[in-house]
Amino acid sequence: MLASPGKAIEYEHVAEYLRGIFDRYDVRKIGFDSWAFVHLKPWLLKAGFTEEVITERFQEFRQGTKSMTPALRELEVALVNERVAHGNHPVLTNNAGNAVVYGQDDDRKLDKKKSTGRIDGMVSLAMAFGVAPSIEEPPPQFFT
């Protein structure tokens, strides 16, 4: 994880950072919360993303239980079966320790209000597991 320069996050910085990520890695999908995407999209276009790439690679992922429940289920299965390697990253480790799941069974999500600190990394990880099933071609396997 990388902090944005300055006192506030600027969409231009986020778009340029994503451009670098797309240039270096084979990014298949990125889940996004639609709430602020309308402000980010013009900066993505300015950073060189085409409408086609944005439509194909950026997938809306709402933060409610309808989206989060299956994503959390997939994430939990991967964690329990030891298929997630995060290299003991200190921010993600901290976020995992802060995370609280609201609800039960088929009606769950990560709850920022009940959490003890920042959980953004865990929300992002759950979103990644939520959009992964929509990828038509599976990514190459790096871990067994």
Question: What's at 136, amino acid-wise?
Answer: E
In Å, what is the CA distance from 36 to each residue of 32, 41, 69, 79? 9, 9, 22, 30
In Å, what is the CA distance from 11 to each residue of 18, 45, 108, 121, 139? 10, 12, 30, 18, 28
Q: Which residue has the tokens 């790439």?
A: 53
Q: What is the pLDDT of residues 86-120, one digit of tens each?
A: 888 899 999 999 999 988 878 999 988 888 899 99
Helix, coil or strand: residue 137:
coil
Q: What is the pLDDT of residues 46-57, one digit of tens each?
A: 999 999 999 999
